[in-house]
Amino acid sequence: MSVVSLSYIVSFFENELKLISRGENAVKSGRVEQFLCEGSVEVICGKIRSSLTDVVYAVTVGLLTVSHTAGLMLRLLRVHTIRL
């Protein structure tokens, strides 16, 4: 079992407070079925059970770094959800 620092997770969601709240609710209610963090590629994966239905979703959250021609580096949050 690996330990992920809170600051590392927060860095994924620093501009997405609603996603943080939804994630906390999923953990508190026991709906997180699987969790994996790949820090080397900046990806968090998990399986979450819906609160309203008995459906499991595979959720992948990652940071995408984009370079701009003006020399700017942008870090974008990408969330991908699939119904299993």
Q: Can you give the three-state secondary structure of 1-55, one letter per residue?
A: CCCCCHHHHHHHCCCCHHHHHHHHHHHHCCCEEEEEEEHHHCEEEEEEECCCCCC
Q: Where are the domains of the chain?
A: 6-83
- Please report the pLDDT score of residue 17 as a whole number: 74
Question: Please, what is the average pLDDT of the chain?
Answer: 77
In this model, does residue 2 exceed pLDDT 60? no
In this model, does residue 63 exceed pLDDT 80? no
In this model, does residue 47 exceed pLDDT 70? yes
